[in-house]
Amino acid sequence: MKVIQSLNTFILLVLILFTAYLRYLTDFFDENSAFLDSLLASLVVILFAYIVNSVLGNFILRRVSTARDRYTLRKTVSILITVIAFASFFAIWIERTSTLIIAYGILSAGIAIALQDLLRSIAGGILIITSDPFKAGDRIQVGDNIGDVLDIGNFSTKLMEIKEFGNSDQYTGRIIQLPNSFVLNQPIKNYTRDFSFIWDEIRIMLIYGSNWKKAQDIILKITSPIVKEFEPEQKKNSCGWETNTS
C-alpha cells in the first residue's frame, strides 16, 4: 500500500515538473501559456489532495478503533477532499465569476443530497453528546426496538436487543445498530435514566372457581423476600423523583 502511494506521488511530481518545464523553460507553448498554467495548478491540487487524503487516512487508522467507524470516516474524508478538489478545478478552469458561483451552488446542492443521511447521523451523534439523552448501559426503546445500549459511536448506536420473541426481558442475542439520526425524528424511551424502577406485570391465569385469595397469599409469600430488599431504595427514589419534579 505504501509502495503504491509513493509511486503515485512520484508520478504526480514528475508530471508537475514536466509541465513546469514546458511552461517556463521552453518557448514552444507561449500561445498556450494560460492552458499550461491551469494544467500546472490542477496537478498541484491533485498532488496536495492525494497527500492530505493519505495523511488523514493513516491518522484515522491509528486513532479509530472500530473497523466500521474507520471505514466511514475514511470514506467521508475522501469524499470531502474530492469535493474540495473539484471546487478548486472550477476556480482554476472557469474564469467568469457568475458561472463559478452557479457551479458552486450546484455542487453544494449535490453534496447535501448525496450525503444527507451521513450528515444527519453526524448531527445526531453531536446531539447525543451534547444533550445526553442516554448513555452506555441504559435500556432504551426507539420505535419497536428495545435494548441495552452497548456503544455510542460517531455515526451509529448499538443495542443488545430484548423482547423480540416474547414479553420477558431476555436478550435475543442480536445486536441492533441504529444510525444516530434517530434522535432527530423519533421519541426515545429511557427505562434507566432518573428512576431505577419501572412498572411491569406478571399475569397469572386462574380458572373460574379457583381460590384466588390462597393464590394471592402464595404469590406474596414467594415474592416478598425478593421484593423486600428493593423496597427502601424504591421509596427513596420515589421521594427524590417527586421532590425534583414538584
**What CATH number corresponds to the domain at position 147?**
2.30.30.60
The pLDDT assigned to 237 comes to: 59
Domain limits for position 222 = 196-246
Same domain as 99, residue 158: no
Number of domains in the chain: 3
The pLDDT assigned to 246 comes to: 38
- How far is CA 94 from its chain centroid? 36
Q: Name 207's bridge partners.
A: none
Cell 498556450 sits at which residue? 32
The CA distance from 82 to 10, in Å, is: 20
Question: Three-state SS for 8?
Answer: helix
The CA distance from 115 to 85, in Å, is: 17
The pLDDT assigned to 241 comes to: 47
Same domain as 185, residue 94: no
Last residue of a domain, one of 178, 193, 208: 193
pTM across the whole model:
0.47
The pLDDT assigned to 159 comes to: 92
Same domain as 102, residue 15: yes
- CA distances from residue 166 to 32, 203, 210, 225 in whole angstroms, order as listed: 76, 13, 27, 27
Return averaged pLDDT per consecutive 10 residues of the chain, 246 residues in all. Answer: 70 82 70 77 88 87 76 77 82 67 70 74 82 85 89 84 72 87 88 70 82 88 81 63 44
The pLDDT assigned to 143 comes to: 87
Residue 123, in any domain of the structure: no
